[in-house]
Structure 1
Amino acid sequence: MKGLNIELLKEMLSVYSPSGNESNIREIIKEEIDDLVDEMQVDALGNLIARKKGNGTKIMLAGHMDQIALMVTHIDEKGFLRCTNIGGISPTISVSQRIIFENGTIGVIGNEKLESIKDLKLDKLYIDIGVSSKEEAEKIITIGDVAVYYSEPIVDNKKVISQAVDDRIGCFVMIEALKILANTDNDIYFVFTVQEEVGIRGAKTAAFAIEPDIAIAFDVTATGDTPKAKPMAVQLGSGPAIKVKDNSILCHPKVKNYMIQQAEKNDIPYQLEVLEYGGTDSGAIHLSRSGVPSGVLSIPCRYLHSNCEMVFLSDVENAVKLTKHMLENKIELNK
C-alpha cells in the first residue's frame, strides 16, 4: 500500500466548509477522484455522489464534508458579534479561539465577565473582529455570516491535530481507499455528504435516491484513553473502531460481523465501539425507504468538536486497508 497523501489531508482540513456551505471541500474531492470513478453528480442538497459501477451488491459509503460553525445573529454598537451555533459548539472549548469567516475575516471568541465558569453559555460569548463600531463591522460582516475555527493543521509522522478532523478524515479514508481499490463486482457509491452536523440531513436524501443494499458510514468516535476519561474501550493507535452502537443506530450484526471478518482475515487491528451518545450518517441511512443494513467504521479521535481534534495516522492507514478489503470482496446479506 502506498503512503497516505498528507498534502491532500492538510488541504482538506484547512478549507472553509461549514454545514450548509460545503462547496469548497466538495470541489477538492471532485478534482481528486474524477479519474477514479465511472460517474459523479452533485444532488440538489449538495451531496457529492461518485459511483464505481458493478453488477453486484449496491454499497453506499458515506462520510460528511461539513464542519461545526458559528452564525452571526447580532452586531452591537461597538462592533462585537453575537452568534448561534451550527452543530455541537462548546462554549468552554471556544473561548479565546480564533475563527475565520468565508471572506477571510479573522476574529477571536471572547466572553463576558462571569461570576462562575458554570455560567458560561453560548449567549455569553462574542466574536471580536478588531473593529470599533457597528458601522465598521457591517462593512465586513453581515447577519447570517458563518465562521469556523481557524488554525493550521499539524501532521507529523504519528498524528494529526486540527479542526475539522470530524469528518474530513472519514472523507479522506474513502478517497485513499478508492485509489487502491482493485476490480470488484460490487456497485459502490462513494457519498460525501452535507449537513451531518445539523441532523444527518444529506445522508438521508442520498440514501433515498441510491436505495443501497448495505451502507457503511465513516466518521470519528470518542476515546477512553485520556486521564480520568469516561470509561470506553477505544483508544488511539489500536486500529479503526467497528461500531456496535451509538444513539442513532444499532449496527446491523451481519454488516458488523463482515467488517470484523475482513479485519481478522487480513491481520488488520481493530477495536469495537459502543458510543453512549452521538450519531453518524448511518443513523439516517439505515432508516431510509424500507431499511438499509448499515455499519460504521470510526477513527478514534481525542478532543472532539474542538480546533485541535487528534487522530493517529496508523488508525487512518488501517482504516484505508480495511475499507479496501471490505469493498473488493463479494458481500451477500440476507435482509
Structure 2
Amino acid sequence: MKDLIKKLVEAWGPSGYEHHIRALIQEEVADLADEITVDPLGNLICRVGSGGKKVMISAHMDEIGVMATYAEPESGYLRFTNIGGLIHSTLAGNRVRFEDGTIGVIAVHDQFGAGRTSVPNLDDFYIDVSTGNGAASIQPGSPAGMWREMEERGSRLIAKSMDDRIGCAVAIGAMRKLNKQAPNECYFVFSVQEEVGLRGARTAAHGVDPDVGIALDVTGSGDELKSWKMAVKLGKGAAIKIHDGGLVVPPAVRDWMVERAEADGIPYQLELLTGGTTDAAAIQLARAGVPSGCISIPCRFVHTTSETVDVNDVQACVDLLAGLLTNPISL
C-alpha cells in the first residue's frame, strides 16, 4: 500500500489537468473493474459488480496548485494565481513543478521586512524559474503542482497531495479486496476538479444516478497544537462523517457505516467538520437527491506540502469501505 500511495501523491495533476494521474490510476485498476470509462469532464469511472443498490464512491484525483499569469520582462520571475485553496502563510520557499518538469521556487517580496505585520497577499509572491542562463520557458497559462517527495516516519506518511490521493488509494485498496465480486453495483469515481468546486463529482453523479453516495477524502485532526476543537485524531481509525460545511449526513447512512465498523471490529471515530466539504456535497444533490456520507482519512497540515496521515487509519478506511460494499445494502 505504501508503494501505491507514494506513486499517487508524487504524480502531477492540478485541478483541470488530471490526465497524468488519471492514466496512472487507470493502469492500477485495469484488472479490478468490470467496466472502465472516462466521461467528458475527465472523471475516471470504474464499475464493479451488478445488481443490488447502485453505489457511487468518489475520491478526487486533482491537487491544489498554481498557474502562471505573467512573466516579468527582465528577471523572468513568474506571477501566478491559485488553483484551489492555497494557504498563503505556508507558500514561501515551497517548490512547484510544471508539466514539462521545470521546478520553480515560490518567493515573497520583503519576506523579513520590518513593515511585515500580516500574511502576504498572493500578489506579493512570485516563482523563480531561472536556470543560470535566463529563465525557463514557462508561458502564462501554464499550471504547476506543488512538489515534494513522500517521506515515512514510522506509521506516518508525509507528502503533498494526500488531499486527495490518499482517498484514491483507499478506493483502489477496496477494489483490490472486492476482486470484482460485489452484491451491489459499485461505481468507483476518481473525480476531477474537486478543489475548485466539486465539479467532477457533480457531473459524474448525474451520469451514474446512484442510490447511495460515499465520498473518500481527508479531514482535519484535532491533535495539533492550538488546533480547532474536533474529536478526530491520527492513528485512531477511520473517520465517519456526521456533518461538514456542505453535508448533513442522513442518520441512516451514518448508522450503516458505524454498524459495519463495529461488526467488523474496525477502529473508527466520528467526524464533525465546521468548514469545508467533499464530493458527497455534490453527489447528494444529483437528480432527485442521493443519500450520501463520507469516510474520512484523518490528516494533519491539510493544503500544505507536508500533509500527514497514519497508515493504520488508511487501512481502517479500506476495510470499512470494502465491508460496506461486500454486504447487501438496505438503505
Q: Does TM, scored on the shorter chain, surpass 0.5?
A: yes
The counterpart of 1:166, out of the listed 163, 168, 171, is 163
The counterpart of 1:111, out of the listed 108, 113, 126, is 108
Normalising by structure 1, report the TM-score.
0.95
Structure 2 CA distance for aligned equivalents of residues 171 and 117 of structure 1:
39
Report what 1:24 is aligned to: 20
How do 1:1-335 residues align onto structure 2 when only pairs under 5 Å count?
5-77=1-73, 78-113=75-110, 114=113, 115-131=115-131, 136-137=134-135, 140-181=137-178, 183-333=181-331
- Verify the 8 A CA contact 1:69 1:148 in the aligned structure 2: yes
User: How many percent identity over aligned positions?
Assistant: 45
- Verify the 8 A CA contact 2:104 2:129 in the aligned structure 1: yes
Q: What residue identity is the alignment partner of 1:202?
A: G
- Verify the 8 A CA contact 1:79 1:131 in the aligned structure 2: no
Normalising by structure 2, report the TM-score.
0.96
Q: What residue identity is the alignment partner of 1:98?
A: R
Shift of 1:147: 1.3
The secondary structure found in structure 1 opposite 2:221 is coil
Task: Please give the root-mean-square deviation of Cα atoms over the aligned residues, in Å.
Answer: 1.3
Q: What residue identity is the alignment partner of 1:11?
A: K
- Verify the 8 A CA contact 2:61 2:191 in the aligned structure 1: yes
- Verify the 8 A CA contact 1:157 1:313 in the aligned structure 2: no
Shift of 1:65: 0.1
The secondary structure found in structure 2 opposite 1:276 is coil
Unaligned runs of 5+ in 1: none
Most deviating of 247-256 and 216-225: 247-256
Shift of 1:181: 1.3
Structure 1 CA distance for aligned equivalents of residues 239 and 119 of structure 2:
36
Q: What residue identity is the alignment partner of 1:129?
A: V
Most deviating of 113-122 and 277-286: 113-122
Q: What residue identity is the alignment partner of 2:84?
A: G
Shift of 1:155: 2.8
Shift of 1:184: 2.4
- Verify the 8 A CA contact 1:91 1:125 in the aligned structure 2: no
Q: What residue identity is the alignment partner of 1:71?
A: M
The secondary structure found in structure 1 opposite 2:25 is helix
Structure 2 CA distance for aligned equivalents of residues 34 and 124 of structure 1:
45
Deviations 1:255-284 (A, max 9, x none): 111000000111111011000000100011
Structure 2 CA distance for aligned equivalents of residues 152 and 244 of structure 1:
33
